[in-house]
Amino acid sequence: MRFIHAADIHLDSPLHGLSAYADAPADMLRNATREAFSKLVAVAIDEQVDFMVIAGDLYDGTWRDHNTGIFFCKEMGKLRRAGIPVYVLHGNHDAESEMTSQLQLPDNVHTFSTKKPQTYRIDALKVALHGHSFKDKAVTANLAAAYPSPVDGYFNIGVLHTALEGSSAHANYAPCTVAELHAREYQYWALGHVHEFAMWDEASTIVFPGNLQGRNIRETGRRGAVIVNVSEADKLSVERLFIDVLRWESVIVDASGLATLDEVARAAGRALEALIERAERPVPHAVRVTVTGATKAHGELFANATQLRAEVLAQIAAISHESLWLEKVKVTTQPIARALPASNEDGAADALADLHGLLIEAESDPEFIAMLKERLITLASQAPAELQKSVPELEYVRDGDLAKLVSEVRSGLIAQLADAE
């Protein structure tokens, strides 16, 4: 038999990071999670799987738009007509959703209880699925500890939404350990909550399929679900299914050997073109370009962030505007270490040295940092989208990281002034 294991679908969750830009693919951003889920349902039907497991976070929190739930019912209807049952476990986001408790689902959809662990048997396949849905958003108890013993003679699947040993990137809900899951002696654990793919294959096969569709720049790379094939001897294989319809990527451009903004922009264009050429299928990409390294261009990049972004956008337009969008250009370069200009008649070198020293002291001066935050917080909070784009350093003000702001301004300002001198 074979089944699909998916998790963290987050239907109708907004994709963040592109919507402020005029060239953003608005329709794709709005419908990406739905399109990815429809693709998953189509694969389930084409592959004639025996059932599907959704291990939590089908919905995305406190959504009140019932069109989201109606869309899910429509997709489940397709599986019902194909004779494919679906076993759904509620995760922390589902526990927040009004749709979770209000909508009636098609009769091929089986939802695990929120009161205690529940077992569904598929006698024709000799399969037993065990699961315990979240009743509340923040479940900090070890739910796996109360899961039942495996059913003799059956292929046992544990369905669980968990941080699993406290994944640092996700809230520590339903924590447990890999060793505890192996000790249950189930053949397979279908996990959800952690958005990155992970697998342990020992006494049990334990799998996080990752989320179905990346939603922001923190969720880069290929996304999807898994299809599990089980032989008559209970030998299983796990195959990844890449379902995402828009992919987030991070591209690093090393500017160490480059001297001008134009050279950096051309290097970014080459890196972006290589990214598109490496893609195994023509999935649109949303990309963050990060410029690194100690470079002669540091001062120019610092002073002309808006121009750099425009130059990178021009490179993208020349490559393929239909398959590539820019999320952000981030400059993390450093100036090449060098002596400040020698003293001259007007004392410019001394002034630069004094300014450099004052800015270093300012980074650790609590009174200066507090004053700076007070002066800038209104601007950072209320600035229009166009200004936010052209001055990305405002994010440091909103985050309260004023010392980092001063540090970045210091290195760029001194480099720019030294060049001018």
Q: Which whole number is the average pLDDT over 278-300?
A: 87
Span 53-87, pLDDT tens digits: 999 888 876 656 678 888 999 999 999 999 999 99
* pLDDT at residue 126 greater than cutoff 70: yes
The third-level CATH classification (topology) of the domain covering 2-242 is Purple Acid Phosphatase; chain A, domain 2 (3.60.21)
* pLDDT at residue 158 greater than cutoff 90: yes
Among 63-77, 98-112, 276-290, 303-317, name the most confident range.
303-317
* pLDDT at residue 247 greater than cutoff 80: yes
Enumerate residues 6+ apart whose C-beta is below 8 A from 352. Answer: 340, 341, 414, 417, 418, 421
| pLDDT for the residue 357 | 67
* pLDDT at residue 351 greater than cutoff 80: no
Number of residues that this document lists for the chain: 421
Q: Quickly count: other Cβ atoms within 10 Å of residue 353's Cβ.
A: 15
Q: Which whole number is the average pLDDT over 138-145?
A: 80
* pLDDT bucket at 184, cuts 50 / 70 / 90: very high
What whole-number distance in Å separates Cα of residue 291 and Cα of residue 264? 8
Domain limits of the chain? Answer: 2-242, 246-337, 341-421
